[in-house]
Amino acid sequence: MKKFVSLLLTGVLAFGLLAGCGNSGTAASPAPETAAPETGTPETGSLEGTVLKVGATPAPHAEILEVVKQLLAEQGITLEITVFNDYIQPNTAVENGDLDANYFQHITYMDEFNASNGTHLVSAAAIHYEPFGLYAGKTDSLDALADGAQIAVPNDTTNEARALLLLQQEGLITLKEGAGLTATKADIAENPKNLDIVELEASQLPVRLADVDMAVINGNYAIDAGLKVSDALAVEAADGEAGTAYANVLTVKEGRENEPAIQALVEALQSQQVKDFIDETYDGAVVAVF
């Protein structure tokens, strides 16, 4: 009997040792997974410590970005805003990587810049629209325009066409059929008042306003100069050919548009806080398109 009990106990102990070895093997397999460190990849959603460098013209773009700066700070993202007073440097800086993005231009200008300069810029998102205005200089009404009066327009291709379309909208000139968004002075088919169309750099239009009878001024430069769209003699129709083609966009280099940090910037720019700021600040001179 004692021999039977001894054999029985020996068998139980052996079984227990085998079972213990088996459990040890299965428990060890997931160890590498649980021990893996957090990497801060997009899957974790953490952008803490990210720095974004964005170029902008002063108004309204840099002003809007100041609102965005606060929103991004809540996510641990630092937004560094560089202000430019021209349309070339901010695009060059995005192309060569000195800036992560810029926010100053409409998509038609961006496409034209790419075609002319061999750059690789794309829109990450459409943010707002700025209607062009025709502002009084030496002459204070359309009816008072004399024969040969001077009207200043931007000298870059896309914005000049836009200005000419506004003059056509007001019946001051007629463009050749099909000229549309690429129109230049050479495309003026009818000019009953023999208007002298003066081509100037866009940033100089408000500065030179007092020297000409009227000027068609880009929305951002008008705002920067303290001009109100409500005071303009004529305003670009939002549903016209130009009005539907000139949404201002957040621009990045091709391939970066889906990066988590860029998408965080887009989300902040298209937030309700930014829309409210635009509506309350610009009195129709800037219109959110999101």
DSSP string covering 42-106:
GGGT--TT-EEEEEE-IIIIIHHHHHHHHHHHTTTPEEEEEE-SSSSHHHHHHHHTS-SEEEEEE
Q: What is the CATH number of the domain that holds 217?
A: 3.40.190.10
Position 42 in a domain: no
Which DSSP symbol is given to 177? T
126 & 138 share domain = no
82 & 175 share domain = no
pLDDT over 90 percentage in the chain: 73
Residue 81 is predicted with a pLDDT of 98
124 & 260 share domain = yes
Assign 113 a pLDDT band (cuts: 50, 70, 90): very high
pLDDT, tens digit (0-9, with 9 covering 90-100), for 160-211: 999 999 999 999 999 999 999 999 999 999 999 999 999 999 999 999 999 9
Position 35 in a domain: no
Assigned token pair, 13:
């102990």
Residue 45 has pLDDT above 90, yes or no: no
Separation CA 250–CA 148 (nearest Å)? 40
Position 20 in a domain: no
The number of distinct structural domains making up the chain is 2
Residue 30 is predicted with a pLDDT of 38
278 & 209 share domain = no
Position 167 in a domain: yes
87 & 172 share domain = no
**Quick check: 203 and 221 in contact, CB under 8 A?**
yes
**Quick check: 122 and 253 in contact, CB under 8 A?**
yes
Position 23 in a domain: no
57 & 124 share domain = yes
Q: Which domain holds residue 150?
A: 133-235
Residue 244 is predicted with a pLDDT of 75
Which single residue is written with the structure tokens 């440097």?
89
Assign 75 a pLDDT band (cuts: 50, 70, 90): very high
223 & 137 share domain = yes
- pTM, to two decimals: 0.70
Position 267 in a domain: yes
Separation CA 201–CA 199 (nearest Å)? 7
Position 147 in a domain: yes
170 & 221 share domain = yes
Q: Collapse the DSSP code of 38 into the 3-class scheme (helix H, G, I; strand E, B; otherwise coil) and give the result.
A: coil
Residue 23 has pLDDT above 70, yes or no: no
117 & 160 share domain = no
Which single residue is written with the structure tokens 């829109």?
123
Residue 15 is predicted with a pLDDT of 35
Residue 35 has pLDDT above 80, yes or no: no
Residue 114, CA distances (Å) to 73, 95, 151, 278 in order = 32, 10, 29, 29
* Residue 103 vs residue 287, higher pLDDT: 103
Separation CA 126–CA 155 (nearest Å)? 24
Position 141 in a domain: yes
